[in-house]
Amino acid sequence: MSSPTNLHLYILAAPLVAAFVLNLLGRLSRRWVMPLTLGPLVFSTAGSLMLLARVLKEGGFSYTVGNWTPPYGIELLVDPLSAMMLVLISGIALTATFSALPWVEREHPGSEHLFFTLYLILIAGLMGLVLTADAFNLYVLLEITSITTYGLIAMGKGRAPLASFNYIIMGSIGACFYLLGIGYLYILTGSLNMADMAAIIKTLPQGPALATAFAFAIVGLWVKMAFFPLHGWLPNAYSLAPTAAGLLFAPLMTKVTIYLMIRVILNVFTPEYVFYSHPLVQSGVVWAAAIAIVCASSLALGQRDLRRMLTYILIAEVGYMVGGFWLANSQGMTGAILHIFNDAVMTLCLFLAAAAIASRTGSLSFDNLKGLYRTMPVTMAAFTVGAFSIIGVPPTCGFFSKWYLLQGAVQAGQWGFLAALLFSSLVNAIMFFRIIELAYFTDDGEAHHGGHHHGDDHHAPVAEAPLPMLAPLVVTAAALLVIGLGTGPIVSAIRLTLPKFL
């Protein structure tokens, strides 16, 4: 099946080309920064929506780059799932950029063009990742996204370069593992095209080479998605990164990596091999995910800084998705994929709220959150919606994906995973209600506490967050409700991608 236009390429190319143009023009004048970042992202978002509409109506298609036929050429696969991921990436990138622009101006004056060059290449890389149907191309794009990420994190203050360095080491190990896995597969199958490899793998005996290939590939991806206990690099990397970079990483990076795991399992190694031939390992991984969820949630409980708490919640959410997918039944997989979308939006909402708060209070430690309801009502309202979504309160979208995961767990008889999900909801509720309580009802900024200074910066926030940060936040919070109510169509689109035998 082919496509009438090259829209998907343009969507991918827009941020990429803009990155280079921005780097050149940005040196001349700062006025180029905003149009050259927002412009291509608007284009990409619109384009991916049109692409999605077309794919849902006419069906998916594949595209060979440069007309070099596979298995030598690189193939791109545009099916409902990748089209939806494309919409997700461009939409989130666009929304985050509105808030990122003022932050970069604040934190890296004079280097905006450098920052956004990396930023846009990262987005282009992510888009490429969801479209590619070639295993090695995947590695290349993975490295592209990783390297830009390392650079972006290193631009942060304080211990950020160290965090980036640790991330480089772990990230490279993860990517190398993946590469080695693909290398083994190449030796076994002689091809790098995913569909091709899948067909050949079906005919292979299940020997040590295949097992090693799979282990390398999967563990590599697990390191990159911060699946507990391989998560060590994430909290520091994401919380020390520049705020604008964190807005992009947190919602997208781990989710796209989970998407990659799903692609690799569905389209390369096939569920028969991964799940059904090794049911003990499959349930073992679900148990591991359950432990991941419990530990990450508990670790989040011990944090005293909002952004760090959110990164640990992120790690717990990875556990949800990995466990949900490895439940290997229709409900679980649907829940996991639905959760990719929902979690991306929820994470964006919370990180945007954190950024908005930080823009006025200067610090995100819990002491600085007192009485924010009065001074930043809209921000806190949006934060509350995001919190409800993470806890899983209907009608926000978080409830619906959690429901599918729970049903999948019941269907598979995985009680440990079920208990972990419920435990995590409770722990999330505790954490967020603590914050809501602090922000909504503690009287703050008693100016007549004469001589009672808290050392460094106890700024009483004086006003609501600036509009460029507030607008995307409100839109995202509203989206949580809209997506929640519109779960039906999203789920039907997801179901199109899952294997038919489920």
Partner 1 sequence: MIDWLHPSFLFLLGAVLVALLPARIRMAAAVLVPLAAFFVIVNLPLGNGLQYQLFGFDLTLLRVDKLSKAFGYVFTINAFAAGIFALHLKTRVEPVAALTYIGASIGAVFAGDLISLYLFWEVMAIASTFLILARGTERSYQSAFRYVMIHLLGGLMLLAGILLQIKATGSVAFDPFAIRDLPTYLILIGFLVNAAAPPLSAWLSDAYPEATVTGGVVLTAYTTKTAVYTLIRGFAGWEILMVVGCVMALYGIIYAILENDMRRILAYSIINQVGFMVTGVGIGTAMALNGAVAHAFCHIIYKALLWMSAGAVLQLTGKSKCTDLGGLYKTMPLTLIFGCIGALAISSFPGFSGYTSKPMIIEAGVHGGFYWVWLVLELASAGVFLHAGIKFPYFVFFAKDSGMRPGEAPPHMLVAMAFLSFICIFLGVYPQPLYAILPFEVNFHPYTFEHTLNQLQLLMFSALAFFMFLPMLKRTETISIDSDWFYRKGGQLFFTAADKLFNSINAQAEKLVAVELTAQVSRFFKQPGFLIQRQGVRLLAAVSGNRQQAEQMEAWLDARNRSGAYPIGIWVLLAVSILGIMSLLYLLIR
Euclidean distance between CA atoms 247 and 122, whole angstroms = 13
CB atoms within 10 A of CB 147: 18
The two structure tokens encoding residue 429? 């509720």
**107 alpha-carbon distance from chain centroid:** 23
- Rounded to a whole number of angstroms, the minimum distance from the CB of residue 173 to partner 1 is 6
On whether the CB atoms of residues 116 and 48 are closer than 8 A, the answer is no
Query: Rounded to whole angstroms, what are the CA distances from 284 to 52, 193, 419?
Result: 36, 30, 15
x-or-dash string of contact with partner 1, 363-402, rule CB under 8 A? -------------------------x----xxx---x---
By CB under 8 A, name the one of 169, 187, 199, 482 that touches partner 1. Answer: 169
- Rounded to a whole number of angstroms, the minimum distance from the CB of residue 249 to partner 1 is 19
By CB under 8 A, name the one of 218, 289, 293, 473 that touches partner 1. Answer: 218
Asked if 449 touches partner 1 (CB under 8 A), the answer is no
Show the 3-state SS of 346-395. Answer: HHHHHHHHHHHHHHHHCCCEHHHHCCHHHHCHHHHHHHHHHHHHHHCCCC
Nearer to partner 1, 462 or 485 (CB): 485
Map tokens 């990875």 to a residue.
Answer: 318
Euclidean distance between CA atoms 178 and 218, whole angstroms = 7
Asked if 486 touches partner 1 (CB under 8 A), the answer is no
Asked if 487 touches partner 1 (CB under 8 A), the answer is yes
Asked if 404 touches partner 1 (CB under 8 A), the answer is yes
Window contacting partner 1 (CB under 8 A); options: 20-28, 195-203, 293-301, 339-347 = 293-301
Which residue in 50, 59, 55 sits closest to 10, CA to CA? 50
- Rounded to a whole number of angstroms, the minimum distance from the CB of residue 480 to partner 1 is 15
Nearer to partner 1, 15 or 174 (CB): 174
Nearer to partner 1, 26 or 181 (CB): 181
- Rounded to a whole number of angstroms, the minimum distance from the CB of residue 440 to partner 1 is 7
Asked if 492 touches partner 1 (CB under 8 A), the answer is no
By CB under 8 A, name the one of 53, 426, 467, 502 that touches partner 1. Answer: 426
Residues recorded for the chain: 502
Window 183-212: residues binding partner 1 (CB under 8 A):
207-208, 210-212
On whether the CB atoms of residues 131 and 8 are closer than 8 A, the answer is yes
Which residue in 6, 70, 99 sits closest to 350, CA to CA? 99
Nearest 5°: CA angle at 245, between 370 and 313? Answer: 55
* Interface residues toward partner 1, by CB under 8 A: 166, 169-170, 173-174, 177, 207-208, 210-212, 214-216, 218-219, 222-223, 229-230, 232-233, 277-281, 284, 298-299, 301-304, 388, 393-395, 399, 403-404, 406-407, 410-411, 418, 422, 425-426, 429-430, 433-434, 437, 440-441, 487-488
